[in-house]
Structure 1
Amino acid sequence: MFPVTNLLLSFFVLNAFLVFAQEIKIGKEKPNIVLIYVDDLGYGDIGVNGAIGVKTPNIDKLAIKGINFTDAHATAATCTPSRYSLLTGQYAFRNKAHIINGDAPLIIDTEMRTLPDMLKDAGYTTGVVGKWHLGLGNGKANWNGTVSPGPKEVGFDYSFLIPATGDRVPTVYLENQKVVGLDLNDSIAVSYTTRLDGYPIGTEHPELLKQHTDGQHLGSITNGISRIGYMKGGKSALWIDEEIPFVLTKKANSFVDINKKNPFFLFFSLHDIHQPRIANIKFVEASIMGPRGDVIAQMDWCVGQIIEKLEKLNLVNNTMIIFTSDNGPILDDGYLDYARELVGEHKPGGVYRGSKYSIYEAGTRMPTIISWPKAIRPGTSHALLSQVDLYASLAKLVGQKLKKEDAVDSEEHLKAWLGKKTKGREILLEEAYAFGLRMNDFKYIMPKKSNKIPPWITRKFVDPGFSIEPQLFNLKTDPSESKNIASEHPDMVNKMQRLLNNILEPNESK
């Protein structure tokens, strides 16, 4: 007979194995789904992927208990297109989606069935908390009433939003599409074309600024930050940048609390680590990289708060947490916070070349972790995956059939997302200000008509990957895309261009 201690040990090992390896019934599972979407976080910006100078203990813990993906991608190297593709299952170029102003109309067709629509059909309560940046209203938003259409019209039961980004007006929160704390006697007006004499202007009052900035961000000043665009009114509703992570996390946890008894989908869309990077005093000097590193630590705290809430409610075992980012890292995106000077040995994109705005790998290769203790064994996955596929994959999980017009670019790779299969996509599209295609270890970048780089990109110290010649790289031997081998493999170049044409111009390619 085994000693009692051995029996107990065997019991605990078996119990742990059952927790992590329980077979799930595809099509009948209804785990809570929390999608944590970080802004401008690079592949190398988290501890488990090699971060230097900042610690991310909560994210690292999530990775240890879940799957850390090494080759998972946002669909685009900028925020609005990535968010559009994530929620619609459609490539952004099909709708000419690009970075939009804070007064832009909603860019998602309300007739489209979205990811939250699909989950609602499966019995989920859906909520979005945080950065939106997908447009609101029909072209001239009524900031002093209900702003519609918005999240509700595309499938979200609840919303608490930053309308665009922290560097754009209006600098107010919207809850269920109404400005929070607004005094109607001080009505809000917003313009991106005409100056409004409401708040001081960055070009005229640099002495009021917490951070100096480039010419693009020299519009209205609120809370000591000069933004893109002009705003007047709404003084009682203005946010305080240093409080944003606390406000958003409290709202996200409240949504979990209210909906804990039934399946819920929470799209927790953090503002960090987008500029302006204004860390709360709690996180100032939490890193050795200045404000950019400090807000990485701040973002990690937000992740920890969500996990802690799920644990307290005994929900963590049956909650799928998806942690990822909308596009690659950027050190200088307009505000002077010395990120380039203080980066040290840290590599925001890891070993990969590129950044936000770039077609090279770091532009779309995202830190991506999925944890679901009930169904996922911890590990690392090298499967090639795209965020556009989350729509079809989650539909498979919850038993929702997609119509032909639903999520037209989304492929179902549920087993790969759950770590039960090592292979994902055969080919994967990458969008920036150029187009790239991944196929196995090969990366192809389609030539542009001109390799001239716009001045606004040059000022951000970014290499967007523009070339009038085709570019081909073998990422297995050259992950930093340093040697163009297109001339050595003309057949591969032609094949990958044909595959890319089938995506970009399907009718013409047939």
Structure 2
Amino acid sequence: MNSFIAKISMMVLTIICFHTVYAQKNKAKPNVILIYADDLGYGDVSAYGASKIQTPHLDALAKSGTRFTNAHSTSATCTPSRFALMTGNYPWRQKGTGVLPGDAKLIVPTDKASLPKVFKQAGYQTAVVGKWHLGLGNQVEKNWNEDIKPGPNEVGFDYSFIFPATADRVPTVFMENHRVVGLDPKDPIRVNYQEKIGNEPTGKENPELLKMKASPNHGHNNTIVNGIGRIGFMEGGTKARWVDEEVSTTFLQVAQDFIKKNKQQPFFLFFSLTEPHVPRMPATFFKGKSELGYRGDAILQLDWTVGQIMEQLELLGLRDNTIIVFSSDNGPVIDDGYEDESVEKSHGHEAAGPFRGGKYSNFEGGTRVPFIVAGKGIKKNHVTDALYSQIDLIASFAEMLGQDKPQDAKDSEMLFSTLQGKDKNGRSIYVQHAQSLAIVKDNWKYIVPNNGRAINKQTNTELGNSQVPQLYNLAEDQGERVNLAEKYPEKVKELQDLLEKEKNK
């Protein structure tokens, strides 16, 4: 009998020891939260020099970690930047990675490496909450009233709570994993981007129903949802449609629920914010708080949201074992299709900071974005000018987790020490993508000649396009005002050859 009791006791002790070791091993792995803003510029954050608006929570995050002054999205628009973030590959290598309509098919391969798969391989729980805009399903024609896949779950996320594209594109619904949230089977959804369907009012036909007028020639004059004209046509799903003022807080609540649920195990959360992308319709509490119109109000809401996540981590005792990465998918745009007083009330606010251009542009303002890293193992109260791209996150986190670089992520570099603020250099070259390509090496930047417009008149953005080669010394001319191509033809040739080498990898 005593022998039997001894064996049972030994088994119990073994199980306890196993779980203790497992818990300690998991605790050693830092949680990772990637907070990704939408159209937020370098100059939109007070830690980066903004004076017309204050972002205290982002400033606090920067003070507690490392603030990058030379970090970039790969592209000057959202879908390609997000594709690069997920895959570790430059988006211009794959066709169909431009800005997607709301009914697009999934463009991220399901059979190759991805950012969430790196964490899953290390035993993490993974989730995406917020904007997706990388397509859903295997084809454009899809039944929105049934399971839609492949999507985020097939790309590597255990849990997803998203809206399919952008806030200005239909369908204006939330999706949890594969299904539309709150859908009434008696009121099925239909979506069409080619022609009008159903009898829903549109911004073009019923402007008197709009609570926010659309700027001419931006395409925001199709189906009206919540008094706002959208891109694309939609009918049905009346009860499932979200209310613009509640989108941000809904995503926050879902993100916080995921963090709380997984507080005892390592997790990776891609928290993809909607601010300050159009249509800017912040919660009523934030309206009028910034003096910069609804765009400024949306930035204040974004900053508050980041503060809520930081506060939750503190309350749960997770702050010291969590790495937070904050950045934006591309540079800023003030007028992007709606008359929301953001232009009239800009009051000299320089959304791109000292840089030329913005969203859609090959100048620095298109891709040089806020990039803050804080948490376990990250240098505190540190500023670095190391060159880093969001495309490097997949390889950098693989390095952190003791993995080999994912072979499919050919353009991503293992730069975790740079992410920590310890390495002063970062990557040696970086290819920037807008309407054409540019390449940066040792602070020399070459922009490929092209026949595109010099200025996007709809958004009043300098696009960086020119029929002649452009060469800038960013160390001395960060505003890209003096084209040195004729003065340094050998440097132009060097960068041309280097870009061709990158393109042919």
Mark the CA change 1:387 to 1:207 in structure 2 (over 3 Å): closer, same or farther.
same
Structure-2 separation of matches of 1:377 and 1:297: 24
Asked if 1 retains the 8 angstrom alpha-carbon contact of 2:378 and 2:421, the reply is: no
Which secondary structure does the structure 2 equivalent of 1:438 belong to? strand
Asked if 2 retains the 8 angstrom alpha-carbon contact of 1:39 and 1:79, the reply is: yes
1:121 matched to which residue of 2? 121
CA displacement, residues 303-328 of structure 1 (integer Å, 9 cap, x when unaligned): 01111111110000010000000000
Which secondary structure does the structure 2 equivalent of 1:342 belong to? coil
Which secondary structure does the structure 2 equivalent of 1:282 belong to? helix
1:40 matched to which residue of 2? 39
Which secondary structure does the structure 2 equivalent of 1:494 belong to? helix
Structure-1 separation of matches of 2:177 and 2:273: 17
1:286 matched to which residue of 2? 289
Structure-2 separation of matches of 1:269 and 1:473: 33
Which secondary structure does the structure 2 equivalent of 1:472 belong to? strand
Shift of 1:83: 0.2
Asked if 1 retains the 8 angstrom alpha-carbon contact of 2:118 and 2:397, the reply is: no
Q: Where does structure 1 differ by over 6 angstroms across 4 or more consecutive aligned residues?
A: none
Shift of 1:198: 4.2
**Which is worse superposed, 460-469 or 266-275?**
460-469
Asked if 2 retains the 8 angstrom alpha-carbon contact of 1:329 and 1:355, the reply is: yes
Shift of 1:123: 0.7
Which of these residues, 226, 229, 242, is aligned with residue 229 of structure 2?
226
Asked if 1 retains the 8 angstrom alpha-carbon contact of 2:438 and 2:445, the reply is: yes
Matched-pair identity in %: 47
Shift of 1:341: 2.0
TM-score with structure 2 length normalisation? Answer: 0.92
1:429 matched to which residue of 2? 431
2:64 matched to which residue of 1? 65
Shift of 1:336: 1.0
Shift of 1:403: 4.5
1:147 matched to which residue of 2? 148
Structure-2 separation of matches of 1:495 and 1:374: 38
Which of these residues, 320, 323, 333, is aligned with residue 323 of structure 2?
320
**Which is worse superposed, 150-159 or 394-403?**
394-403
1:110 matched to which residue of 2? 110
2:180 matched to which residue of 1? 179
Structure-2 separation of matches of 1:452 and 1:236: 43
Shift of 1:340: 2.0
**Letter matched to residue 469 of structure 1:** V
The unaligned stretches of length 5 or more in structure 1 are: 1-26
Asked if 1 retains the 8 angstrom alpha-carbon contact of 2:57 and 2:303, the reply is: yes
Structure-2 separation of matches of 1:341 and 1:480: 24
Structure-2 separation of matches of 1:286 and 1:439: 41
Shift of 1:377: 2.9
Structure-1 separation of matches of 2:354 and 2:345: 19
2:361 matched to which residue of 1? 358
CA displacement, residues 165-190 of structure 1 (integer Å, 9 cap, x when unaligned): 00000000001121111000000000
Which secondary structure does the structure 1 equivalent of 2:426 belong to? coil
**Letter matched to residue 202 of structure 1:** G
The size of the alignment, in residue pairs, is 476
Shift of 1:418: 0.2
Shift of 1:346: 1.3
Shift of 1:374: 4.7
Shift of 1:194: 1.7
Shift of 1:378: 2.5
Asked if 2 retains the 8 angstrom alpha-carbon contact of 1:290 and 1:342, the reply is: yes
1:98 matched to which residue of 2? 98
Structure-1 separation of matches of 2:395 and 2:253: 30
Asked if 2 retains the 8 angstrom alpha-carbon contact of 1:198 and 1:231, the reply is: no
1:5 matched to which residue of 2? none
Structure-1 separation of matches of 2:392 and 2:284: 38
The unaligned stretches of length 5 or more in structure 2 are: 1-25
Structure-2 separation of matches of 1:228 and 1:300: 27
**Letter matched to residue 415 of structure 1:** S
Shift of 1:52: 2.5
Shift of 1:118: 1.3
Shift of 1:499: 0.7
Alignment of 1:417-456 (within 5 A): 417-448=419-450, 450-452=451-453
1:157 aligns with 2:158: yes
1:335 aligns with 2:334: no
Mark the CA change 1:55 to 1:226 in structure 2 (over 3 Å): closer, same or farther.
same
1:14 matched to which residue of 2? none
Mark the CA change 1:243 to 1:403 in structure 2 (over 3 Å): closer, same or farther.
closer
Shift of 1:247: 0.2
TM-score with structure 1 length normalisation? Answer: 0.91
1:304 matched to which residue of 2? 307
CA displacement, residues 186-244 of structure 1 (integer Å, 9 cap, x when unaligned): 00000000211242111011111121113411110010110000000000100000011
Mark the CA change 1:198 to 1:250 in structure 2 (over 3 Å): closer, same or farther.
farther
CA displacement, residues 129-160 of structure 1 (integer Å, 9 cap, x when unaligned): 00000000111222101110100110000000
Structure-2 separation of matches of 1:478 and 1:166: 36
